[in-house]
Every structure is written in C-alpha cells, then in structure tokens.
Amino acid sequence: MRILSLFVVAMCVPLSASAESGYVESVSAGTYQITTNDFGDSRYTVITTKVAGITVKSDVSFMKVGGTSISECAASSIADSKGSKVEGTCLTTDSDGDKYKIILSRTNVIGGNNPGTQSWFGLTGKYVGMTGTCTYENRSQVLNGVIYGMNISKCNLTR
C-alpha cells in the first residue's frame, strides 16, 4: 500500500520542462570570395566565405566563452537605384562537431557598416532545439585584392 501511495503522489507532482535562454556575443572573421555581374541598372553579387569564430560573452550553458567555430556561408546581394540588400545562409560547426544554421539579412550594404539580422537554428548535438535572433555588424577591408571581413553578432538564444 505504501508503494502505491508513493506512486500516486509522484504522479500528481507536475512535471516541468524548463527552456534555457540567454545572451551570446560572438566575433568571426575570414576572407570573402565575391563575384559581381552588372545588368543594366542593377548589380548582382554572389559571396562565399569561411570564417573562424569565437564566443566572447555567454550566459547559456550550451555556448561557452572561448568556444570556437567555423562558418561556411553563401550569400547573394543585389544593388540598384533603390538600395542594396544581402541575404545568405551559413552552416556553423563548433570544435565538438556540433552544428547550427544561420540565416542572415542586411540592407543598404554598399558604403557602410549597417547592422543586419540573423536567425540561428540548432541542428545537431548540444544545439538541437536552439533558436535565436541576432543583430550583427559586418566590417570589411580590402588589401592587395583580398577582401577580409569581420562580423560581430549579439544574440538572444533559447533551447
């Protein structure tokens, strides 16, 4: 009878699943490969890059400060008399081999370091179930015909 009573009490205790959420800041940098074609009044650009990243601030358990990653990205940009916009996707792999996807978008990209937005989606390992919204800034510099870029991302993540 005692075991049955404990079982009934245990079944009445509400089970709660708690989501973890918090703030993460990361910096990534690397070289960009860019191909641009002009069509009349518009310019179309394809961008590919591999960048190395590091987490510099974090208050979530699944992204540790000092954690490193590599992102492989493909993006496209269009510029015309109305302005410019870049959109793309990155596959990010951390040092444990766990992966998440980044979808990015930024407007008025020509001649400035305008902030953009990113959406993060967990794919494998510790990132399964992770989603996030971020703002980011891209800083680029050309030296000897090579384009170097750095991204600063500030994110609110939930898992």
**Domains annotated on the chain, with CATH:** 24-158 (2.40.160.20)
Predicted confidence band of residue 107 (pLDDT cuts 50, 70, 90): confident
| Cα 49 to chain centroid, rounded | 14
- Percentage of the chain exceeding pLDDT 70: 86
Per-residue pLDDT band for 29 (boundaries 50, 70, 90) equals: very high
Quickly state the pLDDT bin for 108 (edges 50, 70, 90).
confident
The pLDDT value recorded for residue 4 is 46
Dihedral-angle region of residue 45 (phi above 0 means left; psi in -120 to 50 means alpha; beta otherwise): beta
Cβ(134)–Cβ(127) below 8 Å: no
Does the pLDDT of residue 10 top 70, yes or no? no
Neighbour tally for 41: CB within 10 Å: 9
Residue 63 — pLDDT band, cuts 50, 70, 90?
Answer: very high
pTM: 0.84
**What confidence tens digit (pLDDT) does each residue in 121-143 have?**
999 999 999 999 999 998 888 99
CA distance 127 to 148: 28
* Residue 86 C-beta-side C-alpha neighbours within 13 Å: 26
